[in-house]
Structure 1
Amino acid sequence: MSQPSPSVAAEQWFVSRGLPYFVDDIRRTVKGRLGRRPLGAVAAVAALFAAGAGIGTGLGTEDTSSIVLFALLASGVPLVTYAARRLYAGTVVRWTIGRTLSSLGLLVPLVTRALPLLLLFVTFLFINTEVWQVASALDDGVLWVSVVLFALVAIAFLLVRLPEELDQVDDEMTGSRLTAACAGTPLEDEAARVAASYEDADLIATAQVTGLAKANLVLVLLISQALQVLLLSLAMFTFFVVFGMVSIKPDVIRSWVGPDAPTPFVDSLPLLTHELVRVSTFLSAFSGLYFTVYAVSDETYRTQFFGSLMKQLRRAVGVRTVYRCLARENAGQ
């Protein structure tokens, strides 16, 4: 069987690593699917889903927050489906989840840097009367809307800061770094030739990641960070539930939130109460937001977290640079 050409091998390499938008043909296809007409059709379907879910929920409850929550969740179904099936988002998500799960060992030393201060701060809130009163008074719909709001704020913060990490990579893609970045890739041999044939200024200009390709890389960074935040939030939720069941007695909860509390969340576990679950959920979501801000603002943590990820990014940008040079050369023939 004949070996694929370097360009084809690079395209296969991109797709297998969650970078489909680096492939010229795929990027052009996706650009068409992001036009006004197809997106308008998807938005219309999302609005119908939201209206149907809102009306259906409204028939069963008068809780406005629950109606809004289910409407938002329903509207996301066609959007996520379209992105996964037509915009190749599923390829990006699958690779990023696999990579994150395969490197869970790196999460422990990274998280231990943030946990001491986080536990000190949030545990103080956990034993605060006002926090229990506020969280216990929230119905399920408002609570989950609050969790979604925390998540959206964290995502917005990441979307502002993560492109800065990417800009450091493509601005440093000189000849020697290009050769090092492409080592062990399908374009390793071509990288040496390209590095010798092009000036550093030309390579840096070619390496600039913009448009959909930049969105692809930022999405990989975003999902990687979001998964780590989710795991930390789940760990904090577990800690608060166990700590609350052991240390917060029913009489204390009753004195904080009223004579009708606490109410068991599970009949077989009387110490696991609705109030405890609500407070734990609220504070674990807040902890996720705190950790997100800490992760991209603390210099030492950024160095540790982005160390391995930046190696992957440099490799991706390096292969893309050689790929674009080859495409330019083929077009000039």
Structure 2
Amino acid sequence: MADERGVEAVEQWFRRRGLPAVVRGRPAHLLVRTTPAVVFIAAWQLLTAVLNAVDGQTDADFDRLLDDDLFALGYGGLLLGLVVVPGLSSWLTARWVRRKLVDRGGDVPAAVMATGFVVVVPIAEWLLEDGSLPFGLVAQAAILAGLFAAAFVGVGSIVGWALRAAFRQLRLLGELTSRVLPLLLLFTVFGFFTTEIWQVGAALPRQRMWLVVGLFAVVAVVFLLAMLKAEVTTLTQSRTAPVGLDKLRETPLAPFLAGDVPAERLPLTKLERANMVLVLVLTQVLQTLVLATLVFVFFVAFGIIAIQHSVIKAWIGRDPASGTLFGIQLPVPEELLQVSLFIAAFSGLYFAASTVTDAKYRTAFFDPLADHLAVSLVARDLYLDARKR
């Protein structure tokens, strides 16, 4: 094959496409590879600790504090930071990691960040929330060990590519909202104004509501697994060499395009087939999560604007409670959050089924993923054939 650096570039290309099972070399630079996840989790934990310290009040005290415009503005900024900062920090770190992997460097900064993750974050949480420092140190070390294990087996590569693919699909946000949301809203808005759904939402504890959401999620994943396993089988039995070769000219595999693509494809191993199915399923799940989040935000905003507390009281027979989400207090009624969660979970299940069965949604949201795997299969043929030389 090509020189060692060329081999690493090809293998890194497969990992960036979410296909670590294709790579025949041993995983390397694990400390650097885990850094984006370390940064994301650390930022989330620190911001959550700050929010918990700020809102550690009774419901009445928190509502009184929200009447102060300055407090409300600052608290809203923290909530926005919790949404934006971890993802943005992780994305910037991932760009740094890609450069360092090419240069075979970055071990020292990665070690510093890992040390801060294990030591500094628990100390900060202990100071802000008065928890158990020894437990925090052990828990952070266990999380870091889990990230190392995930990087070793390639989970990080799969999740990273699926996240990038899902965010690339955000360019289809207009198409998503124009094709999917109107039909969903036609049914869900009427359900949103029924007394029964509010009574159910008010009666269910949050843990039970998460079980309902989890049930919808399990049904969606099982359906996607059944459908996408068949899609992978179809892809592996077809040859798309001309299209694939054309798309590989700007990749590290370009030096191998002078030769012919092997006439016979080496059968996929069970691990490679599972990897490809997992890439498709995880990407579809993340796209579904984007849609469900949009629906959730829409109904929360719609409920704040359209439904007064007196109406909620008439529906559920008591005053609405202050809302919390992931342990963080929000200036939103708890019952509105419950109902919005239920409708968002149902909408996600509908979208997951539609993307692989409805021709309109399939063209926009699934076919690009199928093309991605088709090109990757051609690249795999070239890579494995070159390794035998």
User: Does TM, normalized by the shorter one, top 0.5?
Assistant: yes
Pick from 262, 265, 287: which aligns with 2:323?
265
Q: Distance in 2 between matches of 1:79 and 1:118?
A: 42
Name 2:360's counterpart in structure 1. Answer: 300
Task: Give 1:138 shift.
Answer: 0.2
2:295 paired residue number: 236
The amino acid of 2:180's aligned partner reads A
Q: Is the 8 A contact 1:178 1:318 kept in 2?
A: yes
Q: Which residue of 2 aligns with 1:154?
A: 220
How much has 1:123 moved relative to structure 2?
Answer: 1.2
The equivalent position to 1:136 in structure 2, one of 180, 202, 206, is 202
Q: Residue 265 of structure 1: SS of its match in structure 2?
A: strand
Alignment partner of 2:239: what SS? coil
Mind listing any 5+ residue stretches in structure 2 that lack a counterpart? Answer: 28-138
Instruction: Provide the C-alpha distance between the structure 1 equivalents of 2:382 and 2:157, rounded to a whole number of angstroms.
Output: 23
- Could you tell me which residue of structure 2 aligns to residue 37 of structure 1? none
The Cα offsets for residues 151-205 of structure 1, whole Å up to 9 and x where unpaired, read as 222111111112233233222215535533533233334244223xx54xx2xx4
C-alpha deviation, 1:128, in angstroms: 1.4
The one-letter code of the counterpart of 2:278 is L
Q: Aligned pair 1:215/2:274, yes or no?
A: yes
Residue 210 of structure 1 and its aligned partner are, at CA, apart by 4.2
2:180 counterpart SS class: helix
Structure 1: distance between partners of 2:253 and 2:187: 49
Q: Is 1:225 paired with 2:284?
A: yes
Deviation, 1:3, is: 4.8
SS of structure 2 residue aligned to 1:193: coil
Q: Give the distance between the partners of 1:129 and 1:93, measured in 2 at CA.
A: 40
CA distance in 1, matches of 2:221, 2:348: 11
2:339 aligned residue = 279
Structure 2 counterpart of 1:117:
183
CA–CA distance in structure 2, aligned partners of residues 93 and 119 of structure 1: 30
**Sequence identity percentage:** 38
1:187 aligns with 2:253: yes
SS state at 2:366 partner: helix
CA 1:87–1:175: 2 relative to 1, 3 Å? closer
Residue of structure 1 in register with 2:237 after alignment: 171
Letter matched to residue 293 of structure 1? A
Distance in 2 between residues matched to 1:155 and 1:212, nearest whole Å: 19
TM-score w.r.t. the length of structure 1 is 0.71
Q: Counterpart in 2 of 1:10?
A: 10
The one-letter code matched in structure 1 to 2:237 is: D
- Computed over aligned residues only, the root mean square deviation of the Cα atoms, in angstroms, reads 3.0
- Once residues 25 and 365 of structure 2 are traced to their aligned partners in structure 1, the CA distance between those partners, rounded to angstroms, is 33
Aligned-partner Cα distance in 2 for 1:79–1:129? 48
